[in-house]
Chains A and B, each alone.
Chain A
Amino acid sequence: MTAHLPMIGRRGLLLGLTAGAILGRSRLALGAGPAGDSRLVVVLLRGALDGLAAVQPYGDPALAGLRGPLVLPEPGRDGGVLDLGGFFGLHPRLPRLHAMFAANDLLALHAVCGPTRSRSHFVAQDMMEFGAERRLDSGWLNRALAGLPGHETAATRAGFALGSDLPLIMRGAEPVGMYAPSRPDLPSPDLYARLLEINHADPLTGPAAEEGLRARGFTAGLVPPPEQRGGFVRLASAAGRFLSAAGGPRVAALEISGWDTHAGQQARLRGVLGQLDSGLDALRERLGPAWARTAVLVMTEFGRTARVNGNEGTDHGTGSAAFLLGGAVAGGRVMADWPGLGEGRLYEDRDLAPTLDLRAVAKGLLRDHLGLSPAAVAAAFPGSEEIEAKGGLLRA
């Protein structure tokens, strides 16, 4: 990947970013990285990832009865999930994440949820990014930047976002960088599919849209051609490049949409999970030696219904899965206080019940990974004193 990303924010950030300097400094820093050299990346999955599909609890006896056609074969079978230690299995379109799991770089978190129980994408995404149960004037990652040790004397902005618009999680008083892809960021295959759906019945735009997608190489199932799969991969790869620089930014946010799988979930998830898998692997690769000091939190606003709906899809739910990955992460395991899917175990008799608030994970990362003081962690997540920072996320 050699995607060129022009910078919208401050130009000085990239000065001195020569390959030699990066490598030299990184090699030096390896092993005993100084405090304040850790990297944090937050990846927002907008649209609500079906956690039960991404990290399938194949050991739960109630699973098959709830979601029949959505259940993938057990590990070892043809097209089966990739085993995560005997009860959970990773979706087969996440082979690179599975390799990270094998290298103890990936921690899967299950039955997690954001601050709200709203099933509205917009409310739940906002609250996940505010880091609170109510609206604030800034995002938690922006507030966290203010608490970074050495923040007062730092010459460069510590945080940046990739995409065409600054996500709420990064908005606030703290100045952050912003990078937009030079090529236009195109709609995801799933969004094209929905655009096609609403245009389908139109005698003018419908046939043209269908023909146009075919001409661009989308096949009937809306599988995009290779050159259109790369949006997130490019962004993630660029994030890795920026974060690998010594003295450069340390905190990044990026996002990937296309998770709202109300119909035909199997086909739709394959594409977007594949992008996520390739993108996160590109991030790892680009970070190079800095991967060892990196933690990547991948999270979504809520999960999806435990039961399959009438369109071989799932509707808005509550508990989902999240991932924490990176060389700094104590991975190779699944962290879950598993509520079970059986009779009486579902939240409001429809959703995976959440047993872990993602704020606990985020607080743990701010404290143990970025080295924020207790006061700075509290400032990043106001009004959540009862939610304790999760320990044990990182390698000792």
Chain B
Amino acid sequence: MISPGHVAALRFGLGPRPESPPPADATGWLLAQLEAPPDQAMPPQDWEQDPSLADVMALRLLDRRAPRPMGEKSRAGVLYDLERPAYLGRLIATPTPFRERLVAFWTNHLTVSGRDGQTAPFIGDYVRQAIRPHVVAPFAAMLKAAIRHPAMLLYLNQAASIGPDSPAGRQTGRGLNENLGREVLELHTLSPAAGYSQADVTEFARLLTGLGVEPVREPRGTVFFPRNHQPGDKTIMGRAFPPGAASIDAALDWLAGHPATHRHLALKLARHFVADDPPPAVVDRLAGVLHDTGGDLGAVTREVVALPEAWERSLSKLRTPTELGVAALRALGAGPEMAAEALRVGNTLGQPLWAAPAPNGWPDTAAAWIHPEGILARFDQMHAISGQFSRKDAKDALDLALGPLASEATRAAVLRAGSNREALTLLLGSPEFQRR
């Protein structure tokens, strides 16, 4: 295997930085990040601490009661605009990039999207509260936190779903919205491979009724409205759940522990950390660990690190646009203040941060990202970044960012370039740098 340090920093991390070069003890470096203390707060610009859910709810209420003048952004919209660079700044500077990769992976698995204006201001808090604390916890804990977060309830219309036979349903004639129920089964847990039916989807949607978002009265945020809850037992894939709020957690716990869910998560993890088309044996192994540990994400993550296949096939995965932008800025020693660059790279290359087009999130295969104009746009974006670092020694950057993973052709092109900026563009535009 070539340079485990570089594989650790690329495959599992966000690319080396000058002050955090490829580690000598690759495995130790990765595992230590799983034990690391809670991440330091990196509040958005103009905020002294991270905005809380209560802050977001208050801003939305203020927007409703005292709207900004026409043509001006809502307060909630401004918050969304500040949250994204704060998050990307963290990625650029973080000393625990493996942990951040896990946060990004699970955020994408449980996608909420800022394309929905209602959802957008909540996403910063969603990542902080629903995803980040749970990346090495039981999957059930993350799932419940994510599904119950206002970001998810608004994004997948759960807040508008009403049991047709509930008091509110009978009074208003309104009914079910199956969106969240369907996506939980299809995307977040079982996957269609489990063979559930439309009836199961409808039953699960009935089970979730009552879960909603209270925008005005304290306590604002996620609330269970008994008046919206569909009465009666619900049966999902043969399993019956009694009526009431408690069944929501019970059903999510049950789904999180289902073998089909484990298999689905194992496949996605293997695709993310090993190869677009991972060996079935790898998927089996990860699914086995999830099964044996009751869905412990810490345990399965340690198993991913222990996979020989993850280390042998270096550079087998393509960096997504956001990963590319962040890796380029890290390689050149940029600070978090250059987050706007990473944001621009993502926007230009078709991966605007936190704004996936659909609930299945961003694709995790090269074919989705590599196309003729896409690769040229990568060259152009990397050239734009290199233009701001033309005094940064290209040979040092090459050794740091790729080291022994650089091909002879790439090394020669970088070292023979006619200017330092061109050398940097060649490094950042090389086929190796497109990968991790």
**Nearest CB of chain A from residue B179's CB, rounded to whole Å:** 35
Q: A residues 45-76 with Cβ under 8 Å of B?
A: 46-48
Q: Give the interface segment out of A102-110, A185-193, A241-249.
A: A185-193
CB pairs A–B below 8 angstroms (17 shown): A46-B419, A121-B420, A164-B388, A165-B388, A185-B387, A187-B429, A197-B413, A201-B409, A204-B370, A205-B370, A205-B431, A205-B434, A208-B374, A213-B376, A215-B372, A257-B418, A258-B418
Contact B425 A122 (CB under 8 A): no
Query: Which of A125, A198, A205 meets B409, CB within 8 Å?
Result: A198
Q: Which residues of B contact A213 (CB under 8 A)?
A: 376
Say whether B199 faces chain A, with CB atoms less than 8 Å apart: no
List of 6 A-B pairs having minimum Cβ-Cβ separation, nearest first: A47-B418, A260-B418, A164-B387, A212-B372, A202-B431, A211-B372
Q: How far is the CB of A34 from chain B (nearest CB, A)?
A: 36
- For residue A36, CB closer than 8 A to chain B, the reply is no
For chain B, the bracket of interface size reads: 35 or more
* A255 CA to B391 CA, complexed, in Å: 15
CB-defined contacts of B50 to chain A, threshold 8 Å: none
Question: What CA separation (Å) do A307 and B211 show in the bound complex?
Answer: 79
Tell me, in angstroms, the Cα distance from A192 to B380 when the chains sit together: 9
Q: With an 8 A cutoff between CB atoms, is B375 at the interface? A: yes
* B61, chain A: closest CB distance, angstroms: 38
Name the A residues within 8 Å of B420 (CB-CB): 121-122, 125
Within 8 A of A (CB), among B386-436: 387-391, 393, 407, 409-410, 413, 416-422, 425-426, 429-431, 434
B366 lies within 8 A of chain A by Cβ:
yes
Decide yes or no whether B65 CB sits under 8 A from chain A: no
Given the known A-B contacts A205-B431, A208-B374, A257-B419, are A194 and B380 also in contact in the complex, defined by CB atoms under 8 Å? no
Shortest Cβ distance from A258 into B: residue: B418
Report how far A167 CA is from B390 CA in the complex, Å: 8
A199 at the interface (CB under 8 A from B): yes
**Residues of B contacting A47 with CB < 8 Å?**
417-419, 422
- B425–A187 contact, CB under 8 A? yes
B131 to chain A, nearest CB (A): 30
Give CA–CA (A214, B387) in the complex, Å: 25
Query: In the complex, A96→B195 CA distance in Å?
Result: 73
The 0/1 profile, CB within 8 Å of B marked 1, for residues 201-243 of chain A is: 1101110110111111000000000000000000000000000
Contact A195 B318, beta carbon cutoff 8 Å = no
B419 touching A125 by the CB < 8 A rule? yes
A175: Cβ under 8 A from any B Cβ: no
Residues of chain B within 8 A (CB-CB) of A101 are none
Task: Say whether, besides A184-B384, A187-B425, A215 and B370 are in contact (CB < 8 Å).
Answer: no
Contact of B426 among A48, A186, A198 (CB under 8 A): A198
Tell me if B379 is interfacial: C-beta within 8 Å of chain A. yes
A residues in contact with B379, CB < 8 Å: 187, 192, 195, 209
A163 within 8 A of B: yes
Question: Which residue from chain A places its CB closest to the CB of B389 in the assembled complex?
Answer: A165
A259 in contact (CB, < 8 A): yes
Q: How far is the CB of A285 from chain B (nearest CB, A)?
A: 26
Q: Is residue A262 contacting chain B, with contact meaning CB distance below 8 A? A: yes
Interface positions, chain A 117-172, Cβ under 8 Å from B, are 121-122, 125, 163-165, 167-168
Across chains A and B, the number of contacting residue pairs, with CB separation under 8 Å, is 118
A60–B81 Cα gap in the complex (Å)? 65
Contacts of B418 in A (CB 8 A): 46-48, 121, 257-260
Check if B370 sits within 8 Å of A208, measured CB to CB.
yes
| Contact across chains for B431 and A204 when beta carbons are under 8 A apart | yes
Name A204's contact: one of B366, B380, B384 (CB within 8 Å).
B366
Is there an interface contact between B426 and A195, defined as CB atoms closer than 8 Å?
Answer: yes
- Contacting residues, chain B, for A125 (C-beta < 8 A): 419-420
Q: What distance in Å separates the Cβ of A219 from its nearest Cβ neighbour in chain B? A: 15
Taking a contact as CB atoms closer than 8 A, the residue among B373, B387, B410 that contacts A165 in the complex is: B387
Residues in chain A near residue B431, CB distance under 8 A:
198-199, 202, 204-206
Residues of B within 8 A of A167 (CB): 390
In the complex, B383 has a CB within 8 A of chain A: yes
B contact residues around A198 at 8 Å (CB): 407, 409-410, 413, 426, 429-431
Tell me, in angstroms, the Cα distance from A163 to B383 when the chains sit together.
12
Please give, as numbers and ranges, the residues of chain B lying within 8 Å of A163 by CB-CB distance.
387
A357–B383 CA distance with the chains assembled, in angstroms: 33
- Given A187-B379, A260-B418, 15 further pairs, Cβ under 8 A: A125-B419, A184-B380, A187-B383, A191-B425, A195-B426, A198-B431, A204-B318, A205-B431, A212-B374, A212-B376, A213-B376, A214-B372, A215-B373, A257-B418, A260-B416
CB closest residue in chain B, given A202: B431
Interface centre among A204, A205, A258 (most CB of B within 10 A): A205
Taking a contact as CB atoms under 8 Å apart, the answer to whether B376 and A209 are in contact is: yes
Shortest Cβ distance from A189 into chain B, in angstroms? Answer: 12
A198 to B429, CA, bound (A): 9
* B327 nearest CB across to chain A (Å): 15
Q: Complex: how many Å from CA A145 to CA B426?
A: 34
Cβ of B371 within 8 Å of any chain A Cβ, yes or no, is: yes
Within 8 A of A (CB), among B43-71: none
